[in-house]
Chains A and B, each alone.
Chain A
């Protein structure tokens, strides 16, 4: 069993929700999103962000607008759509429920925390 792969799978499951959450308060462009994700150690290589962004956009959860930049190429600023907000709400709810149940199970096994 490849431990790195399992970790990646776990991260992958919550990555979408995290990206949507980051965009909930204000619109951001990919580099800003990356900074947040890296800070939280949720992403290892930057490239993985882009397919997700495109997919979320194609599913109508995100929209974007172009903004000129003085120091580089023009930037795509992403924001949540109404559909995205609903989606995120549901995801967050599920996450909390899941988190609770998972913690219950893990905490029963006291021996693990002593490891």
Chain B
């Protein structure tokens, strides 16, 4: 029994034995190489193929259906060797052509040697490649290395087993041994492999059990690895699908990120749907491909569903467009900026000295070392200060900036300037009005929040808050130790480092804000400046 190959010779289909095909292929290749420099090479090859087709056609007419090795040999004898044919060409071009043939034919390639293998023929293949005659010593060395505790030969072996192809055809076997691919060598190889095939048949029964044991071990190894790889891919794909299911409210662990996080930015249904469907298609299409490939890989399914890839690619594209659309719609909400100002005044001026107090979200004195902490978690969505956005009544979204400015009036005033963005100026102003910034003045205390807030259910629209304390002439402001929680801007003073602000006092001296109690004296400050 022999395997056959279908070929097209000068537009006529032939069925040809595999070994005969190898020989024919090499023959045509070597002619082609001989003529590599010659104009009209294709035409000559074409004409020769036409003639071969005629010869084969004649053979098949009379007796049989498949072209055999003998037929090809006969045809080649009739046509002449590449050297004969090339003899007709001018001699100088022949020389270069021969040199080229020699160079390319001697190119060695790494193959696994299946005629001489214990597990998968990796070592015997390597020995061929590096010109080591007998693989036995290399095998012993590999085994010794493993016994000595080195694991890498095993890993290397497995990797090579997968990536190095097996030498199956006579041409590949010649390449594996680095022998030139010419007609003689090929003929010899074909004969030898036929002989080997019959030898293996005879020896199968008596052949060593060790070899068959290792062969089984090898195939078990390959299977295990394939199984693991396949399962990992499958599980990964399933996780992605589960995440997507979450978008539609199906209760699966880890769905908050996709269901709730967008609501912090989106308040209209269309955008939300665009985003969700877009995400499903954009992530889901590749995930399905992954599942499909994993299943094909695991169960070694050769058949492909051709429409699947095209359909999924289209779905992915639609998903991408939906996502872009959704993002541009979200972007619309940031087009215009609006501000909203209000004033808090204090009529009773008791002490002329005001102490600032900064309170955190729980109404306690804010810890100087903390700050607004925003994270994104798969299970909880957006987390602010370790609490999910949906669990806050008023969501802290930023830290206000504090401006200390000299007042033109006699009484202390606090101006608050909130800003936000939206589609129109009007809407932006409304959004700005909704920013919560709880400020109180109690006798000689000014209570400021460490954060500004928005109500739960409100969207983030780049809100910002600036607090202006207008300090009357000769009044003093005392900063607490946690003043670093706010971003401080002073009018009329050199900028101070944040850490220098704690426990300082400031006063308005003839329209200038001056430091009264300073950890760094003016003198040392000057020195420092000079150093810089």
A interface residue numbers (CB < 8 A to B): 8, 12, 30-31, 44-48, 50-55, 58, 71-76
**Knowing A48-B87, A72-B54, A73-B11 touch, does A54 contact B79 (C-beta < 8 A)?**
no
B window 407-435: CB within 8 A of A: none
- The reply to whether A53 and B47 form a contact with Cβ atoms under 8 Å apart is yes
Partner of A44, one of B11, B44, B84: B84
Interface residues on B, range: 20 to 34
B80 and A46 contacting across the interface, CB-CB below 8 Å: yes
Flag whether B50 is at the interface (Cβ < 8 A).
Answer: yes
Given contacts A48-B84, A54-B44, 6 further A-B contacts (CB under 8 A): A31-B54, A45-B79, A51-B85, A72-B53, A73-B12, A73-B50
- Interface residue ranges, B against A (CB under 8 Å): 9-12, 31, 35, 38-40, 43-44, 47-48, 50-51, 53-54, 57, 61, 77-81, 84-89
Distance of B530 from chain A, by nearest CB (Å): 90
- Whether B85 pairs with A50 at a CB distance below 8 angstroms is yes
Q: Once bound together, how far apart are the Cα atoms of A55 and B81, in whole Å?
A: 19
CB distance from B158 to the nearest CB of A (A): 48
Chain A proximity of B512: nearest CB distance (Å): 98
Can you list 7 contacts pairing A with B, beta carbon distance less than 8 Å? A48-B80, A48-B88, A50-B48, A51-B89, A71-B57, A71-B61, A74-B50
Nearest chain B CB to A12's CB is how many angstroms away? 7
Tell me, rounded to whole Å, the shortest Cβ–Cβ distance linking B60 to chain A.
Answer: 10
List of B residues within 8 angstroms of A50 by Cβ: 44, 47-48, 51, 85
| B63, chain A: closest CB distance, angstroms | 16
Interface centre among A44, A46, A53, A75 (most CB of B within 10 A): A46
Tell me whether A52 and B88 are in contact in the complex, defined as CB-CB below 8 angstroms, given that A73-B50, A76-B47 are known contacts: yes
CB B48 to nearest CB in A, in angstroms, measures: 5
Tell me, rounded to whole Å, the shortest Cβ–Cβ distance linking A5 to chain B: 9
Residues of chain A contacted by B50 (CB below 8 angstroms):
30, 73-76
Q: How far is the CA of A53 from the CA of B45 in the complex (A)?
A: 12
| Contact call B79/A47, Cβ cutoff below 8 A | yes
Across-interface contacts of B85 in A (CB, < 8 A) = 45, 47-48, 50-51
Residue of A nearest to B61 (CB): A71
Q: How close is B55's CB to chain A, nearest CB, in angstroms?
A: 9
Task: List residues of chain B with CB within 8 A of the CB of A71.
Answer: 57, 61
Name the contact of B87 in the complex, choosing from A8, A54, A76 (C-beta under 8 A): A8
**Complex alpha-carbon distance, A75 and B38, angstroms:** 23
Chain A min CB distance to B517 (Å): 103
Bound complex: CA A58 to CA B53 (Å): 24
Asked whether A44 and B80 contact (CB < 8 A) given A51-B85, A51-B89, A73-B12, the answer is yes
Q: Give the residue of B9, B10, B80 whose beta carbon is less than 8 angstroms from that of A47.
A: B80
Closest residue of chain B to A55 (Cβ to Cβ) is B40
Within 8 Å CB of B57, what residues of A?
Answer: 71-73
Complex contact A46–B51 (CB within 8 A): yes
The chain B residue with its CB closest to the CB of A46 is: B79
- A31 contacts which of B51, B80, B86 (Cβ < 8 Å)? B51
User: Which residues of A have CB within 8 Å of B53?
Assistant: 72-73
Q: With A and B bound together, what is the CA distance between A45 and B51 in angstroms?
A: 12
Return the chain A residue nearest B48 by Cβ. A50
A10 CA / B54 CA spacing, docked (Å):
30
Q: Is the CB of A54 within 8 A of B54?
A: no
Closest to A48 in B: B88
Give the distance to chain B from A57, nearest Cβ to Cβ, in Å.
Answer: 8
**Nearest chain B CB to A26's CB is how many angstroms away?**
20
Q: Which residues of A contact B78 (CB under 8 A)?
A: 45-46
Q: How far is the CA of A12 from the CA of B117 in the complex (A)?
A: 51
CB of A58 within 8 A of CB of B79, answer no
Give, as a whole number of angstroms, the nearest-CB distance from B522 to chain A. Answer: 98
A102 to B205, CA, bound (A): 73
CA distance A46 to B11 in the complex (A): 21
Contact of A54 among B10, B47, B61 (CB under 8 A): B47
B35 touches A51 (CB 8 A): yes
Nearest Cβ distance between residue B453 and chain A, in whole angstroms?
Answer: 86
Tell me, rounded to whole Å, the shortest Cβ–Cβ distance linking A85 to chain B.
Answer: 22
Nearest to A15 among chain B residues (CB) is B88
A76 proximity list for chain B (CB < 8 A): 47, 50
Q: Contact check, B47 vs A30: say whether CB atoms are below 8 A apart.
A: yes
Are A47 and B84 interface neighbours, CB within 8 A? yes
A72 touches B12 (CB 8 A): yes
- A45-B80 contact, Cβ under 8 Å, with A51-B88, A53-B47, A72-B53: yes
Residues on B with C-beta less than 8 A from A73 are 9-12, 50, 53-54, 57
CB pair A51 B44 closer than 8 Å:
yes
- B11 contact set on A, CB distance < 8 A: 73-74
A43 to B48, CA, bound (A): 16
Write the chain B residue with the least CB distance to A51: B88
